[in-house]
């Protein structure tokens, strides 16, 4: 029998005293046990705060939170659950997490087909084995400094026939990229937390990338700090070693001095030639670019491609 959500009894609606007794193992009443286990093949019950909803959504890789409210059941949609006939989970009782752990302790991977987006580096001195990162080997594109992941997630969704790696040093930003990638259920997206220059020079296998995306890197505007810029005099050589023949580097910045340096650096090489940025790519803004454009700040774009035959 399905529960009556309009019923005002302690069977389904906890007051604060009921909630305290329900969460304290010493005060658990036998009548509460069927409430937790009766719906285990179809529904689970637990009163949740908003923070609990977010935590459980991440824990069980929920496809969608349909409703979340302290006075009504919270509804999660979980796709592909190994539990028989589970399509919705109504969380309303402290027993549900224990029951879920007992019934499916090893089945989280079956519920969440998307593997971890943040890739834990096995070594910081050995080049990556790209076969370990992605379920399918495809042309690889890399964003150096992925910010909050807005651009990379949108682009990875738009181009599923390519694999993408977002390289970001800041933990908060790379977690945003992971959350967005999981919501989009992207199997072709990974994130690596490390300095961009180090990743490109030491960890990326030679001539493995089809494109490098460098959008709004730190401009280091003070003259004495310009040596810290990512795109320096030796960058084209490093980028050419990372790209396969015909690969491209796409760049954007709001700093005119940095943009001038970019053009000088790439213009002084024999193995890169300027090319237009594809319209579909230019139409995808980054988080920084969205902010700049909202304030009327002009953004500058450039793109360079290697020769089809390696020099």
Question: Tens of pLDDT along 175-205?
Answer: 999 999 999 999 999 999 999 999 999 999 9
Does 185 qualify as catalytic in the annotation?
A: no
Q: Where are the domains of the chain?
A: 16-111, 130-306
Measured in degrees and rounded to the nearest 5, phi and psi for residue 90 equal: -105, 105
Q: How far apart are CA 229 and CA 227, in angstroms?
A: 6
Pairwise CA distance, residues 200 & 109, whole Å: 31
**Closest by Cα among 115, 114, 43 to 83:** 43
Active-site entry in 24, 218, 234, 257: 218
- Whole-model pTM? 0.64
Instruction: Residue 291: count other Cβ atoms within 10 Å of its Cβ.
Output: 13
State the Cα–Cα distance between residues 214 and 251, nearest whole angstrom.
5
Encode pLDDT of 25-42 as tens digits: 444 333 332 222 233 333
CATH level 3 topology of 130-306? Rossmann fold (3.40.50)
What tokens does 277 get? 């940025």
Q: Please tell me whether residue 307 adopts helix, strand or coil conformation.
A: coil
Q: Quick one: tokens of 299?
A: 């953004």
pLDDT at 54: 58
Q: How many CB atoms lie within 10 A of CB 275?
A: 13
């Amino acid at each position: 029998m399905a529960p009556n959500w309009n019923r005002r009894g302690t069977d389904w609606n906890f007051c604060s005293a009921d909630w305290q007794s329900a969460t304290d193992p010493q005060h658990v009443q036998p009548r509460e046990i069927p409430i937790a286990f009766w719906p285990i093949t179809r529904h689970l019950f637990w009163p949740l705060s908003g923070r609990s909803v977010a935590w459980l959504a991440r824990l069980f890789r929920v496809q969608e939170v349909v409703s979340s409210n302290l006075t009504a059941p919270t509804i999660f949609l979980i796709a592909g659950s190994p539990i028989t006939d589970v399509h919705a989970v109504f969380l309303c009782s402290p027993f549900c997490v224990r029951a879920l752990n007992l019934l499916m302790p090893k089945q989280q991977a079956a519920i969440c087909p998307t593997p971890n987006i943040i890739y834990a580096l096995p070594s910081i001195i050995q080049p990556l084995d790209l076969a370990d990162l992605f379920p399918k080997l495809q042309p690889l594109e890399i964003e150096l400094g992925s910010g909050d992941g807005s651009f990379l997630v949108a682009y990875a969704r738009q181009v599923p026939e390519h694999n993408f790696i977002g390289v970001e040093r800041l933990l908060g930003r790379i977690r945003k990229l992971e959350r967005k990638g999981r919501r989009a259920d992207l199997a072709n997206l990974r994130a690596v937390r490390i300095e961009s220059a180090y990743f490109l020079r030491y960890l990326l296998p030679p001539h493995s990338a089809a494109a490098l995306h460098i959008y709004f890197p730190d401009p280091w505007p003070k003259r004495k700090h310009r040596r810290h810029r990512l795109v320096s005099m030796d960058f084209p050589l490093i980028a050419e070693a990372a790209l396969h023949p015909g690969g491209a580097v796409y760049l954007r910045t709001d700093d005119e001095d940095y943009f001038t340096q970019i053009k000088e650096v790439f213009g002084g090489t024999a193995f890169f030639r300027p090319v237009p940025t594809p319209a579909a790519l230019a139409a995808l803004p980054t988080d920084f670019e969205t902010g700049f454009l909202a304030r009327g700040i002009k953004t500058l774009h450039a793109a360079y491609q290697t020769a089809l035959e390696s020099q």
